[in-house]
Amino acid sequence: MHANEREQAILDLLNRNGFITFRELEKRLDASPATLRRDLTRLSEDGRIERVRGGAKRIANDRMNEQDRLLGVPFHENIHRMREQKEAIGKAAAELCERGSAIMIDGGSTTLQMCPHLAGLELQVLTNSLHIVSALLPQEGTRVLVPGGSVFREQNIILSAAGDELMPRFYAPRLFMGAAAIGPQGVMQADVVLVAAERRLIERAEELILLVDSSKFRHSSGNVVCELAQVGTIITDDGIEPAQAEMVKAAGVRLVTVPV
């Protein structure tokens, strides 16, 4: 049984029972204790389960169901920050899309700026952002797919805290994603629910393309989504500092800077 299959089996058991002991997992799954511990650690770090003494339990969905809110800056505020830079970054990102290809676009105020430039490319787009869905629907020839889950109103995105079961079986050469911060530790977001969702998207793409304005390099805090070396390309504006640009290049990441 592969790691993804074991993780899904663990999530299924927790969804049915709410709690499972480590001994029960050993009986049900064909894996060593060390392997199961790594699976539980990975699921816990992704915010999909809670490790407890002697086993694991299902994450409570109270925050999703009652608050429908993620940590971080609300979308309606973020959309106006560094607007000129984000528009230039979005245009440059759209130029990387090949006609007729499949892509994934993670929700965000910068990735949204790609949309006006995708018309006529006849793309197949998976996105978790209702803003991006609204921007793409008028484009004849653009096919839009969305995952299942709960709508987080302040960011207007759809996320599932339960795991992969509500995500379409979709694979794409490129994933376009934003970030709350970029630093030596890697790509960061404020909320663990968003981190878990973005990690699942990264697993489904050949290349991760990061769209971030230069302000995102000026602070380095949050939950790590992935290491910097996992990013294929970063598109940012020409306000990035030389030391920050060197950090990106030293990690083996292609850096594209757009003039503003």
User: What would the pLDDT profile of 23-69 be if each residue is shown by its tens digit?
Assistant: 889 888 988 999 999 999 888 887 778 888 888 887 755 444 444 56
Q: What is the CATH number of the domain that holds 151?
A: 3.40.50.1360
Which pLDDT value is given to residue 257?
98
Which pLDDT value is given to residue 150?
82
| Same domain, residue pair 84 and 179 | yes
Asked if 166 contacts 160 with a C-beta cutoff of 8 angstroms, the reply is yes
Asked if 153 contacts 68 with a C-beta cutoff of 8 angstroms, the reply is yes
Q: What are residue 49's phi and psi, to 5 degrees?
A: -140, 170
Is 243 among the domain residues?
A: yes
Q: 215: burial class by Cβ within 10 Å (0-12, 13-18, 19+)?
A: middle
What is the distance between the alpha carbons of residues 58 and 191, in angstroms, rounded to a whole number?
A: 18
- Taking Cα atoms as reference points, which of 112, 136, 138 lies closest to residue 125? 136
pLDDT of residue 239 exceeding 60, the answer is: yes
Is 191 among the domain residues?
A: yes
Which are the contacts of 220, defined by CB distance < 8 A and separation ≥ 6?
181, 182, 183, 184, 185, 188
| Same domain, residue pair 33 and 79 | no
Which are the contacts of 203, defined by CB distance < 8 A and separation ≥ 6?
none
**pLDDT (tens digit, 9 = 90+) per residue, 62-101?**
444 444 566 667 777 778 889 999 999 999 999 999 999 9
The percent of residues above 90 in pLDDT, for the chain, comes to: 55
Domain range for 47 is: 3-59
| Same domain, residue pair 197 and 145 | yes
**pLDDT (tens digit, 9 = 90+) per residue, 152-183?**
887 888 887 545 456 677 899 999 999 999 99
- The number of domains in the chain is 2
DSSP 8-state code for residue 107: -
What is the distance between the alpha carbons of residues 125 and 82, in angstroms, rounded to a whole number?
A: 25
Q: How many Cα atoms occupy the beta-carbon half-sphere of 84 within 13 Å? A: 4
C-alpha 151, offset from chain centre = 15
pLDDT of residue 119 exceeding 70, the answer is: yes
Whether the pTM exceeds 0.85: the reply is no
b/e map 95-132, b = 16+ CB within 10 Å? ebbeeeebbbbbbbbbbbbbbebbbebebebbbbbbbb
- Taking Cα atoms as reference points, which of 194, 190, 209, 112 lies closest to residue 158? 194
| Same domain, residue pair 106 and 26 | no
Which pLDDT value is given to residue 201?
92
Instruction: Report DSSP letters for 10-69, one per residue.
Output: HHHHHHHHSEEEHHHHHHHSSS-HHHHHHHHHHHHHTTSEEEETTEEEEPP-HIIIII--
Is 66 among the domain residues?
A: no
Which pLDDT value is given to residue 71?
65
Is 68 among the domain residues?
A: no
